[in-house]
Amino acid sequence: MLKTGKLLRIRRLSLAGDGRHLFVPLDHSVSDGPIVPADKWDDLLRALVDGGADGIIVHKGRARAFAPDILKRCALVVHLSASTACSSDVNAKVLVGDVEEALRLGADAVSVHVNIGSDTEAQQLADLGAVARSCDAWGMPLIAMIYPRGPRIDDPRDPALLAHVVNVAADLGADMVKTSVALPVERMAEVVANSPLPVLAAGGPPDGSDLVEYGTAVMASGCSGLAIGRRIFSSPSPYALVSRLSAVVHGAGGMAADMSMTQSTSNYPTIVAGVA
Please identify every residue annotated as catalytic.
27, 147, 178
Residue 3 vs residues 7, 10, 16, 106, 174: alpha-carbon distances, Å:
6, 11, 22, 17, 14
H or E element at residue 135: helix 121-138
Residue 140 vs residues 9, 51, 222: alpha-carbon distances, Å:
7, 26, 25
Strand 94-95 versus strand 81-82 pairing type: antiparallel
DSSP SS3 for 227: strand
Concatenating the DSSP letter of every residue in 81-120 gives: EE--TTSS-TT--EE---HHHHHHTT-SEEEEEEEETSTT
DSSP letter assigned to residue 252: T
